Structure 1
Amino acid sequence: MAQLSVEVNGRPYAVGCEDGQEAHLLELARMFDHQVRQVSQDMGQLGDTRLFLMGALLLADELADARTRLAALQSEVGRLQTDRSRLENRAVAALETAAKRIEKLGGEEG
């Protein structure tokens, strides 16, 4: 297990992560630090616990919004796949009808 030091609101914190996840953890810490600093800027200096709570709640709100958008997009993808399948079936039926007509016309000429 890797040990890293991340900085949040100007203070270092030692955290562990799985080997190979160091860059990901540092990016997450950077995002959290940005959120905490934004809260501090907007609300003034609060205690670390309250500041971290507010930062975490704002990130959780963003996550909830992203999940809602993802669910809506997945629903739209499902609808589009159904539409595509229906259109493909109609195209196949139209091609089969056209092929039968062509065969019929070919038989009449002979």
Structure 2
Amino acid sequence: MSHVNVTINGRQYRMACEEGQERRLLQLADSMESRVEGLRGKFGEIGDARLTVMAALTIADELLDANQRIGRLEEQLNALQDARYAASERAKATQSAISLALNSASERLEKMSQTLNRTLGGGIAIG
């Protein structure tokens, strides 16, 4: 377990984090500090607790928006995957139909060739 000193709203806090997460914790604290400073610049000195709560609510609002957007994107992804699967199935069916049509045409041509060979006679082979 590592420990990092962070500054939020002008106060230092000693925070514990997992090994390797120190930089991430410092980035989170810097983000929170800049939000508090931004709110202080906008609203003035309205109290430490209130600034911290407002910053937390701002973060929660952004997180909620991000989660909703992720949900919509996941729905779109699922719809696209379903459409891709349906298109793949249609392509397989089309390939199968084309293959059957070509086989049928080949058989008809072979029969026509045999009929012509019998009709013309004389040993001339067609096809």
| TM-score bucket (shorter structure) | over 0.9
Partner of 2:23, secondary structure, is helix
> Which residue pairs with 1:81 in the alignment?
81
Q: Which protein has greater RCO, CA pairs closer than 8 Å, 6+ apart? A: 1
Residue by residue over 1:58-100, the C-alpha shift from the partner in whole angstroms, topping out at 9 and shown as x without a partner, is 0000000001111111111111111111111111101100010
> Which residue pairs with 1:96 in the alignment?
96
> Which residue pairs with 2:40 in the alignment?
40
Q: Please give the alpha-carbon distance, in whole angstroms, between the structure 2 residues aligned to 1:106 and 1:36.
A: 78
> Which residue pairs with 1:7 in the alignment?
7
> Which residue pairs with 1:72 in the alignment?
72
Relative to the length of structure 2, the TM-score reads 0.82
Partner of 2:20, secondary structure, is coil
Unaligned runs of 5+ in 2: 111-127
Deviation, structure 1 residue 10:
3.0
Deviation, structure 1 residue 12:
1.9
State the structure with more CA Rg. Answer: 2
Percent identity of the aligned residues?
35
Partner of 1:3, secondary structure, is strand
Q: Please give the alpha-carbon distance, in whole angstroms, between the structure 2 residues aligned to 1:59 and 1:89.
A: 44
Relative to the length of structure 1, the TM-score reads 0.93
Question: How many residues in Structure 1 have an aligned counterpart in Structure 2?
Answer: 110
Partner of 2:46, secondary structure, is coil
Unaligned runs of 5+ in 1: none
Partner of 1:20, secondary structure, is coil
- The RMSD of aligned alpha carbons is 1.1
